[in-house]
């Protein structure tokens, strides 16, 4: 995604989600997410029915009349958005990819939090930790969070060779192809390949290239979260959860934080059209296999396995006390979030 396209998508998401936050989600958010404690507000005269344990004896002694302490809830929260940017998130069979749906979800949460003066942080991960933004307040910060979810996960930027007049390698300059015409890129392709061969013979260990993002390691992301977040936070893990053995680390993090799993799926992952022989490639392993989508048994088995994976994931996470949200990348992001808010509100009233 080019830089101009990212800016356009961020603005589009800001306009759409901003209206939804203002009209729909504002009250739901406040009613579900409570503060982490209480703080002293003021003293007031004692009224019949007040708890005698709340009497402020110092003020009562000075005034000669009973007074009680009044406390209010400490409202400020810290929200961490943990977004999976592995290769499988780039898949999208409809108008948007799973990563774009994840960005819209993160925008809804971020703008709801900022509207209520809460802090928002971001952690992007795949097989490793891609990017971490500490929690902060403000609309500009929320827009940065959305922009990072959209921008990260793209292919590594172009590396351009530059030499001094005597032909020595001057260094590396990172330049993204945004704004360059395809013709210019083609004319430089030969020089680019030659440069890569020269660079391979030199020692560039001190220069960090963007790590490969084929795999997904949710466990490592949760361990990183536990190391950087010392205070309790509400953590949304936004992923397609194409990983194994991550439940123990989610459970361990949920003991201290409020962990919520957000599954993003695409309709083509749940149902394959009848189009004959197709070659499908696993975005995270790179393996390609040929499938006959014309076979009814194959389509039924694929649909059964996909739905069973979702049901099993939800059942196992809820058994560990972790809330679950399922979002279809081709559908509404707001509706599943509202259902989640209302489910939590009902549970809190019990």
- Please spell the DSSP secondary structure of 52-106, one letter per residue: GGGB-HHHHHHHSS-EEEEEEEE---EEEEEEE-SGGGG--SSSS-HHHHHHHHH
Contact 2, 157 (CB under 8 A): no
Q: What would the mean pLDDT of 234-248 be, rounded to a whole number?
A: 93
Q: Specify the pLDDT at position 164.
A: 43
Element (H or E) spanning 277, and its range?
A: strand 277-281
Q: Of 85, 122, 112, 106, whose CA–CA distance to 229 is shortest?
A: 122
pLDDT at 35: 56
Once rounded to an integer, what is the mean pLDDT over residues 102-109? 87
- Rounded Cα distance between 322 and 247, Å, is 10
Q: What's the whole-number mean pLDDT along residues 303-329?
A: 94
**pTM assigned to the model:** 0.70
Report the SS3 class of residue 202: coil
Asked if the model's pLDDT at residue 347 lies above 50, the reply is: yes
* Residue 138 scores a pLDDT above 50: yes
Residue 267 scores a pLDDT above 60: yes
For position 316, what pLDDT does the model report? 95
Q: Select, from the ranges 198-212, 229-243, 271-285, the one with the highest average predicted confidence (pLDDT).
A: 229-243
How are beta strands 323-328 and 258-265 bridged, if at all? parallel
Residue 241's region, left for phi above 0, alpha for psi from -120 to 50, else beta, is left
> What pLDDT band is residue 314 in, cutting at 50, 70 and 90?
very high
CA–CA separation, 251 and 100 (whole Å): 27
- pLDDT value for 322: 95
- 10 vs 202, more confident: 10
What confidence tier does 124 reach under pLDDT thresholds 50, 70, 90?
very high
Query: What is the band of 10 on the pLDDT scale with cuts at 50, 70, 90?
Result: low
Q: How far apart are CA 223 and CA 252, in angstroms?
A: 9
Radius of gyration over every alpha carbon of the chain, rounded to an integer in angstroms:
26
CA angle 82, 118, 124 (to 5 degrees): 15
pLDDT over 50 at 179, yes or no: no
**Bridge partner residues of 321 (DSSP):** none
Pairing of strands 78-84, 119-125: parallel
Q: Which residue has the higher pLDDT, 113 or 184?
A: 113
pLDDT of 36 > 60? The answer is no
């Amino acid at each position: 995604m080019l830089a101009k396209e990212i800016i356009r998508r961020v603005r589009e998401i800001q306009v759409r989600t901003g209206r939804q936050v203002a009209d729909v989600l504002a009250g739901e958010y406040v009613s579900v997410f409570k503060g982490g404690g209480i703080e002293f507000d003021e003293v007031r005269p004692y009224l019949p029915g007040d708890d005698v344990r709340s009497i402020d004896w110092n003020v009562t002694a000075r005034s000669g009349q009973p007074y009680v302490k009044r406390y209010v809830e400490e409202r400020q929260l810290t929200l961490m958005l943990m977004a999976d940017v592995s290769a499988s998130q780039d898949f999208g069979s409809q108008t948007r990819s799973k990563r774009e749906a994840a960005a819209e979800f993160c925008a809804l949460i971020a703008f709801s939090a900022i509207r209520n003066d809460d802090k928002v942080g971001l952690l992007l991960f795949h097989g490793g930790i891609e990017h971490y933004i500490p929690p902060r307040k403000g609309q500009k910060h929320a827009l940065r969070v959305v922009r990072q979810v959209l921008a990260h996960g793209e292919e590594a930027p172009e590396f351009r060779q530059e030499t001094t007049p005597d032909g020595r390698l001057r260094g590396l300059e990172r330049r993204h192809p945004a704004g360059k015409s395809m013709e210019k890129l083609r004319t430089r392709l030969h020089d680019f390949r030659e440069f890569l061969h020269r660079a391979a013979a030199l020692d560039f260990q001190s220069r960090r290239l963007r790590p490969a993002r084929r795999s997904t390691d949710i466990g490592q992301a949760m361990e990183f979260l536990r190391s950087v977040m010392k205070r309790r936070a509400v953590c949304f893990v936004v992923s397609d959860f194409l990983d194994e053995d991550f439940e123990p680390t989610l459970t361990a993090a949920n003991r201290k934080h409020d962990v919520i799993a957000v599954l993003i799926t695409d309709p083509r992952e749940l149902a394959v059209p009848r189009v004959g022989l197709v070659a499908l490639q696993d975005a995270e392993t790179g393996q390609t296999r040929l499938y006959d989508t014309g076979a009814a048994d194959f389509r039924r088995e694929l649909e059964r396995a996909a739905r069973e994976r979702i049901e099993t994931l939800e059942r196992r996470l809820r058994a560990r006390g972790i809330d679950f949200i399922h979002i279809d990348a081709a559908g509404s992001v707001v509706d599943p979030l509202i259902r989640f808010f209302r489910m939590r509100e009902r549970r809190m009233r019990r």
